[in-house]
Amino acid sequence: MSPDTTLTLTARSIRLSRRNGEALLTALILPVLLMLLFVHFFGGAINTGTDYVTYVTPGVLVLCAGFGAASTATTVSEDMKSGLIDRFRSLDIGPTPILTGHVAASVLRNTLSTALVLTLAVAIGFRPSPTPLGVLAATALLLAYLLALSWLSAAVGLLTRTPEAAGGYAFFISFLPYPSSAFVPTRTMPSWLHPFADHQPVTPLIESLRALLLGQDAGTAPWVALAWCAGILAVAAGAAGALFRWRTG
């Protein structure tokens, strides 16, 4: 894979995001609205033992990452449907730089929206107190999650035949934070939901971010979250490569 080719295709994906003003605006405004919705509409009715903005901020960060990464499925599907991939293939450009360009642009977009949400959270009362190592660890975990989710979305975009279908399937990816500890403690959920809520990929990530951003001991949660991200990334990247070859073969 040529680094220049990958950079060129990443720049192309970023330009497409800029030109699609409505999608870009949604990607930036939706996280803000979600933060305000959970904190000001629901926060007064939920007892988590601390200020609700402090409890919910890590969950909203992860939720918004899922919404943003899901758009990768649509853009990949649009490229496949338009015939552009066939032109890339005629230039002897393989699947890795094409898909990596989409994924890199997704990570950059979502990093921007995550920073925006965190800034808003601080403005409405979130007071993080991380150690320098905690900042690095939280940033690394979020980037690992964004990377894994973006590759998973790319695979979904290759699996589906239309951008509309890709967007529909990608919704399920962004649904994971809801049955987790993102918005309420899992102990308040029905007993039949506990095993899933406690052991799905998003819960250890949220618990890690919550502890790291508040300068608390995160225990083994960061390693569990990192293992989940690495597993999802390995499976998703492998599946995306295989699906690309199948669709273009």
Residue ranges covered by each domain of the chain: 3-248
38 has a pLDDT exceeding 90: no
Question: What is each CA distance from 195 to 83, 107, 187, in whole angstroms?
Answer: 44, 30, 10
In this predicted structure, which of 22-26, 87-91, 146-150 has the lowest mean pLDDT? 22-26
Closest C-alpha to 66, from 173, 140, 164, 168: 173
**Whole-structure pTM value:** 0.88
Average of per-residue pLDDT across 24-49: 76
Rg (CA), the chain: 19
Q: How confident is the model at residue 108 (pLDDT cuts 50, 70, 90)?
A: confident
Structure confidence by residue, pLDDT tens digits, 146-190:
999 989 988 988 888 887 787 777 777 778 888 998 888 888 889
- Please give the Cα distance from 69 to 93 (Å, whole number): 24
Average of per-residue pLDDT across 80-92: 70
- Please give the Cα distance from 19 to 99 (Å, whole number): 20
Residue 197 CB partners (closer than 8 Å, separation 6+): 179, 180, 181, 186, 189, 203
pLDDT for residue 8: 77
Query: What are the residue ranges of helices labelled H in the chain?
Result: 3-19, 21-36, 52-82, 84-90, 95-123, 132-159, 163-174, 194-199, 202-213, 221-248
Average of per-residue pLDDT across 222-242: 94
